[in-house]
């Protein structure tokens, strides 16, 4: 999407430059047939293809490089998310929380994930707190 917008802006600038210079292409080194303009278009197309190939290669390289670590990264993410959820809802579970005031505004988002969390932790029902989950 971004490349398309950039290409459209470049084409508009090129058309504007051609209109101001004239049909003969004076000042740009183009002949009346516009041959150098088509060569530039072909060169731009070639660079666009090279950039696309490099982008594809980068995505493939990252996919291959991170593939062995993907499960470990996900496991670590889930552990950190669970710890964050416990810390934000600890006052509701009866555990004193010294930063309760700061976690109050995070409770609505934490409640959306709470049901999934207590099921993953092996609790059939939500622990006895000041709220109902299921």
Tokens for 89?
């809802």
Which has more pLDDT, 91 or 44? 44
Across 57-79, average pLDDT: 90
Tokens for 47?
């660079």
CA distance 120 to 17: 63
Name the residue with tokens 């707190």.
Answer: 129
In this predicted structure, what is the pLDDT of residue 15? 60
Across 93-121, average pLDDT: 81
Give 122's DSSP letter: T
Inter-residue contact 25 to 17 (CB < 8 Å): no
Question: Whats the size of the chain, residue-wise?
Answer: 134
> Distances in Å between the alpha carbon of 33 and those of 29, 39, 59, 66, 117?
11, 12, 41, 52, 70
């Amino acid at each position: 999407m971004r490349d398309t917008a950039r290409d459209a802006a470049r084409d508009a600038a090129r058309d504007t430059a051609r209109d101001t210079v004239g049909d003969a292409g004076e000042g740009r080194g183009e002949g009346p047939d516009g041959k150098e303009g088509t060569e530039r278009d072909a060169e731009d197309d070639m660079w666009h293809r090279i950039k696309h190939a490099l982008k594809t290669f980068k995505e493939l390289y990252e996919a291959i490089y991170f593939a062995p670590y993907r499960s470990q990264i996900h496991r670590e993410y889930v552990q950190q998310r669970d710890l964050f959820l416990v810390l934000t809802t600890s006052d509701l579970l009866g555990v004193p929380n010294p930063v309760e005031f700061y976690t109050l505004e995070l409770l609505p988002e934490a409640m959306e994930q709470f049901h999934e969390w207590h099921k993953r932790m092996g609790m059939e029902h939500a622990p006895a707190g000041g709220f109902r989950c299921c």
